[in-house]
């Protein structure tokens, strides 16, 4: 009975794990669809008409809340400050055109998808690149939180239940968006394209109809808040105080620029010619966003929209504050009500499209964050799991990580877009500025060697664009930091510092491990004198653990020996073959194709095929592993070896051997274990060593 329990317990655990895996696989396929082969990656590339809503939904949708943020800040000085809003809009437009023109240079010169991170790293060094990466990661998380929260508030103008339960509704929308993006970029992009274009068409219709009613028909269009008065917090501002207020309003209006950089990060997702299509999409996005932003600002002024940072106290109607029950509708909702009429068909369509496109604006981050995370993981700044594509050829781990961070932020800030937006644009302008400085150095380097006069004139013109862009975005960054630091920008800076420190620590860990396990050129103790061994040695790269496993396998005196690798990344497989041949390793290397990027199943199938050919033989599978000593190091390394061993243990006629390679950090774990063994229980000293020897409970 004891023997049966000993043999049956691990098997029952493994069978239960397999059953659970099969049960969970069914809802997974229902939610995100069937797995796609790696060779179908080209089918997921986007045409411009789909790429525009996928990568530009954030800057396009920001016109729904950026005008309101300008008016909210100006309301601090009262209604008299509202006449500055057109001039602030002009400044935002100039900045938008500058940034778009600058990024058109970026996508042409750096089409690999690294975007600002690649530009800064290549031209300014790794520290600048890591700063940009930290800023973008924070900005992407905030993009999801702000877009979803703003969408909930817009939808709440028509459906009160939503705004009354906005935190729960916001989290529900994030979960839904996450599932949609896990289905793949092209599939989600096609789904998101319709509401984005409906929103754009609705805003242009509102601007055109409002202009026609006001200019041609002479109608008196009045916003629902037109009769309210604003109680200024600081009336009669002048001099430096007024300038500071205008700069703060300008920095709030710059929220319309968030997401512009996503196209430069997403160039690989475009169809060929990738750079040209990305540059064209940038121009289309800039023109649409500028037109909508200016149109809404103009209509807000024409319809006398009133906004206040604290509407319950600062909005006055008939001499009485509106009170805590008042819900302040966004500017675009008030303008739409004035132009189309409350409850009209066009008003309801635009309200629904605005809410939906704000939800989908988060899709910019869902495409930018995982792609940037994959590049950072490839550069060993983030866990390697973020570099792996999921079943639907999307970077699933990055998508889930982004969703988790956004849910946490929405919960902490109560899905309040006004509070969240204060954190918002710091990161994006850090990346804007460093990217443009990097492009200036890029052109300087090319001009130093270029002799063709036509090319030189093009480079000088491009450098001028990036120089102006660097100056302007740098100036805005200073304004944002000065005007928004105490209003929440410090939280974004703290998040950037945390990301920077975390990624630096991860890179140091990976570098230390790579140095420790690097394969020597000359044979050493890790690869001993060959002998007859029958085994299948699983390998992914040539390093010390691999050589030790090969050396161990040669001493087992089996009938045959081969090294086995799974082709998950063709570039890495090609490099492995080349290194294998260069070193002249006298062990045959077999590579298994894996169109779905799986490791476990191809190995299991291959081992079973060996058993099928010779049922009386035993297959010995040798897995090289390295041992770490800290819990957090386990999170940074792929656990595929553990999953593979779990499956191989239930494959008949297969023996599994782990060849451990102890890293230096494992020494710390060994010392901790030794200290636990030497620990003396309370009362043991009084009993003495003789009595403790008699007590079985005193032994481990």
The secondary structure of 341-404 as a DSSP string is: -TT-HHHHHHHHHHHHHHHHHHHHHHHHHHHHHHHHHHTTSS-GGGGS--TTSS-HHHHHHHHH
Residue 500 has pLDDT above 90, yes or no: yes
Q: How far apart are CA 124 and CA 74, in angstroms?
A: 38
With contact defined as beta carbons under 8 Å apart, do 67 and 253 qualify? yes
Query: Tokens 């008299």 identify what position?
Result: 80
**Closest CA relative to residue 220, chosen from 339, 61, 395, 347:** 339
Domain hosting residue 562, numbered range: 535-663
pLDDT tens per residue across span 48-106: 777 777 777 777 877 777 888 888 888 887 777 788 888 888 988 888 888 888 888 88
Q: Mark whether 210 and 109 lie in a shared domain.
A: yes
Rounded Cα distance between 427 and 435, Å, is: 12
pLDDT digits (tens, 9 = 90+) for 385-444: 777 665 555 667 888 888 888 899 888 888 777 677 667 778 888 888 898 899 999 999
Check whether residue 455 and residue 563 sit in a common domain.
no
- What is the predicted pLDDT for the residue at 394? 61
Identify the DSSP state of 270.
B
The pLDDT of 344-360, averaged and rounded, is 83
Which helix or strand (DSSP H or E) is residue 655 part of? strand 654-662
Residue 422 to residue 425: CA distance in whole angstroms? 8
What dihedral do alpha carbons 261, 262, 268, 271 form, nearest 10°?
-100
250 and 314 in a single domain? The answer is yes
pLDDT-based confidence at residue 614 (cuts at 50, 70, 90): confident
Residue with the larger pLDDT of the pair 618 and 293: 293
619: CB partners within 8 A, 6+ apart: 536, 607, 610, 611, 653, 654, 655
Q: Give the pLDDT band (50/70/90) at residue 191.
A: low
For residues 671 and 666, give the distance between their C-alpha atoms in angstroms, rounded to a whole number.
Answer: 9
Q: Is residue 14 part of a domain?
A: no
Is the CB of residue 311 less than 8 Å from the CB of residue 301? no
User: What 8-state DSSP symbol labels residue 214?
Assistant: I
Query: Regarding predicted confidence, which is higher, 21 or 144?
Result: 144
Based on the fold, state whether residues 231 and 118 are members of the same structural domain: yes
Tell me the average pLDDT of the chain.
77
Overall number of domains in the chain: 2
Give the bridge partners for 591, in sequence order: 565
Q: Which residue bears the tokens 């989290």?
A: 171
Q: Is the pLDDT of residue 590 over 60?
A: yes
pLDDT of residue 310: 79
- Cβ neighbors of 482 (< 8 A, separation 6 or more) are 247
Q: What gap in Å lies between CA 142 and CA 458, rounded to an integer? A: 37
CATH classification at residue 655: 3.40.50
Q: Read off the pLDDT band of 528 (50, 70, 90).
A: very low
Is pLDDT above 50 for 688? no
Is 513 a member of any domain?
no
The pLDDT value recorded for residue 271 is 79
The answer to whether residues 78 and 229 touch, using CB atoms and an 8 Å cutoff, is no
Is there a single domain that holds both residue 116 and residue 204? yes
525 CB neighbour count, 10 Å cutoff: 10
Task: State mean pLDDT over 558-567.
Answer: 87
Cα–Cα distance, 310 to 549 (Å, whole number) = 68
Q: Is 584 left (phi over 0), alpha (psi -120 to 50) or beta?
A: left
Report the range out of 18-32, 222-236, 503-517 with the highest average pLDDT. 503-517
Q: What is the pLDDT, as a whole number, of residue 504?
A: 93
How far apart, in whole angstroms, are the C-alpha atoms of residue 112 and residue 99?
20
Task: Kindly state whether residue 1 falls inside one of the protein's structural domains.
Answer: no
Distance of CA 94 to the CA centre of its chain: 29
Do 422 and 476 reside in the same domain of the chain?
A: yes
Highest mean pLDDT, choosing among 22-26, 208-212, 312-316, 692-696:
208-212
Residues 65 and 160 both lie in one domain: yes
Triad 264, 269, 272: Cα angle to 5°: 95
Q: Residue 564 pairs with which residues in a beta bridge?
A: 538, 590
State whether 500 and 543 are in the same domain.
Answer: no
Q: Which residue matches tokens 């026609």?
A: 212
Kindly tell me if the per-residue pLDDT of 378 is higher than 90.
no
Ramachandran category for residue 328: left, alpha or beta (phi over 0 → left; psi -120 to 50 → alpha): beta
Q: Which two tokens stand for residue 627?
A: 């041992």
The mean pLDDT value for 540-548 works out to: 87
Same structural domain, 469 and 606: no
Asked if pLDDT for residue 667 goes beyond 60, the answer is yes
Assess if residue 184 is contained within a domain.
yes
* CA distances to 73, 247, 394 from 484, in Å: 11, 10, 36
Q: What is the mean pLDDT of residues 603-611?
A: 85
Tallying the residues shown for the chain, one arrives at 700
Q: How far apart are CA 58 and CA 140, in angstroms?
A: 10
- % the chain with pLDDT above 90: 6
**Domain at 309, CATH number:** 1.20.1740.10
Q: Answer yes or no: do 71 and 140 share one domain.
A: yes
105 vs 141: CA distance, rounded Å:
26
The reported pLDDT for the residue numbered 206 is 93
21 domain-assigned: no
Placement of tokens 């024409």 in the chain: 302
Looking at residue 682, its pLDDT comes to 41
Tell whether the model's pLDDT for residue 697 goes beyond 60.
Answer: no
Using CA atoms, how far apart are residues 364 and 266, in angstroms rounded to an integer? Answer: 10
Q: Is residue 245 within 8 Å of 88, Cβ to Cβ?
A: no
User: Do 284 and 141 reside in the same domain of the chain?
Assistant: yes
Cβ atoms of 132 and 342 closer than 8 Å: no
Q: How many Å apart are CA 419 and CA 415, to the nearest integer? A: 9
User: Do 142 and 427 meet the contact criterion of CB atoms below 8 Å apart?
Assistant: yes
Residue 590: CB atoms within 10 Å = 10
Lowest model confidence (mean pLDDT) among 36-50, 106-120, 362-376, 400-414 = 36-50
Query: Given 491, 508, 525, which residue is the final one in a domain?
Result: 508
What was the pLDDT predicted at 185? 53
Shared domain for 485 and 573, answered yes or no, is no
Q: Locate tokens 């740098």: which residue?
A: 474
Q: Is 601 helix (H, G, I), strand (E, B) or coil?
A: helix
Residue 306 contacts residue 326 (beta carbons within 8 Å) = no
Choose the weakest-confidence range: 47-51, 96-100, 165-169, 286-290.
47-51
Distance CA(621)–CA(603), nearest Å, equals 10
**Is residue 9 in a domain?**
no
Q: What is the mean pLDDT of residues 192-213?
A: 88
Q: Where residue 699 falls among pLDDT bands split at 50, 70, 90? A: very low
* C-alpha span between 369 and 386 (Å, rounded): 10
Q: What is the mean pLDDT of residues 230-242?
A: 72
Q: Give a yes or no: residue 515 inside a domain.
A: no
Q: Say what the pTM is.
A: 0.68
Instruction: Quickly count: other Cβ atoms within 10 Å of residue 683's Cβ.
Output: 8
Please report whether residue 525 resides in a domain.
Answer: no
| Nearest of 482, 440, 385 to residue 128 by alpha carbon | 440
* pLDDT(208) > 90: yes
């Amino acid at each position: 009975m004891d023997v049966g329990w000993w043999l049956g317990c691990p098997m029952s655990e493994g069978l239960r794990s397999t059953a659970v895996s099969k049960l969970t696989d069914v809802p997974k396929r229902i939610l995100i669809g069937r797995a796609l082969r790696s060779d179908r990656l080209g089918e997921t590339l986007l045409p411009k008409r789909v790429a525009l809503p996928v990568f530009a939904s954030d800057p396009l949708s920001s016109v729904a809340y950026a005008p309101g943020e300008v008016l909210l800040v100006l309301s601090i000085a009262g209604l008299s400050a509202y006449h500055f809003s057109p001039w602030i809009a002009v400044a935002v437009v100039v900045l938008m055109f500058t940034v778009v023109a600058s990024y058109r240079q970026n996508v042409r010169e750096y089409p690999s998808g690294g975007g600002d991170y690649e530009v800064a790293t290549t031209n300014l060094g790794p520290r600048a690149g890591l700063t940009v990466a930290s800023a973008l990661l924070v900005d992407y998380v905030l993009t999801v939180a702000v877009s979803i929260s703003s969408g909930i508030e817009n939808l709440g103008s028509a459906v009160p239940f939503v705004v009354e339960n906005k935190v729960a509704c916001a989290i529900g929308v994030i979960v839904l968006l996450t599932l949609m993006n896990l289905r793949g970029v092209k599939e989600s992009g096609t789904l998101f394209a319709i509401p984005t274009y409906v929103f754009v068409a609705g805003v242009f219709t509102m601007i055109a109809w409002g202009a026609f009613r006001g200019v041609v028909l002479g109608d008196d269009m009045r916003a629902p808040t037109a009769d309210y008065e604003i109680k200024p917090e600081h009336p009669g501002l002048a001099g430096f105080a007024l300038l500071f207020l205008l700069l703060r309003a300008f920095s709030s209006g710059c929220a319309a620029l968030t997401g512009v950089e996503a196209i430069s990060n997403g160039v690989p997702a475009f169809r060929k010619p990738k750079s040209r299509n990305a540059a064209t999409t940038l121009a289309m996005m800039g023109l649409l966003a500028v037109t909508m932003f200016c149109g809404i600002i103009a209509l807000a002024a024409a319809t006398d929209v009133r906004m206040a940072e604290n509407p319950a106290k600062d909005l006055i109607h008939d001499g009485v504050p509106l009170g805590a029950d008042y819900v302040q509708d966004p500017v675009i909702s008030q303008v739409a009500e004035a132009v189309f009429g409350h409850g009209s068909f066009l008003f309801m369509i635009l309200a629904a499209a605005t809410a939906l496109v704000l939800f989908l604006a988060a899709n910019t981050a869902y495409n930018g964050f995982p792609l940037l995370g994959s590049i950072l993981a490839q550069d060993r700044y983030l866990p390697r799991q973020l570099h792996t594509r999921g079943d639907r050829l999307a970077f699933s781990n990055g998508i889930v990580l982004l969703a988790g961070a956004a849910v946490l932020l929405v919960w902490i800030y109560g899905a309040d877009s006004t509070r969240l937006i204060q954190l918002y644009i710091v990161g994006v302008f850090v990346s804007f500025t460093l990217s443009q400085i990097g492009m200036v150095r890029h052109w300087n380097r090319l001009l130093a060697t270029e002799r063709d006069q036509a090319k030189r004139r093009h480079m000088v013109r491009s450098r001028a664009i990036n120089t102006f862009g660097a100056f302007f975005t740098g100036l805005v960054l200073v304004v944002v930091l000065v005007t928004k630091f105490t209003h929440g920008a410090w939280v974004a800076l703290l998040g950037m510092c945390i990301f920077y420190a975390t990624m630096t620590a991860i890179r140091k860990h990976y570098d230390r491990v790579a140095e420790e396990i690097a394969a020597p050129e000359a044979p050493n103790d890790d690869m001993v004198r060959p002998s007859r061994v029958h085994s299948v040695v699983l390998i992914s790269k040539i390093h010390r653990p691999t050589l030790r496993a090969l050396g161990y396998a040669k001493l087992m005196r089996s009938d045959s020996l081969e090294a086995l690798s799974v082709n998950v990344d063709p570039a890495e497989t090609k490099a492995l073959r080349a290194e294998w041949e260069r070193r002249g390793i006298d062990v045959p290397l077999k590579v298994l194709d894996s169109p779905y990027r799986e490791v476990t199943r191809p190995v299991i199938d291959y081992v079973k095929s060996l058993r099928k050919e010779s049922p009386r033989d035993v297959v010995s599978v040798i897995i090289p592993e390295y041992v770490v000593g800290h819990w957090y190091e386990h999170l940074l390394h792929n656990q595929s070896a553990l999953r593979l061993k779990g499956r191989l243990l239930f494959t008949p006629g297969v023996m599994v051997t782990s060849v451990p390679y102890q890293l230096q950090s494992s020494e710390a774990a060994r010392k901790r274990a030794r200290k636990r063994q030497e620990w003396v229980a309370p009362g043991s000293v009084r009993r003495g060593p003789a009595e403790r020897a008699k007590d079985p409970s005193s032994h481990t």
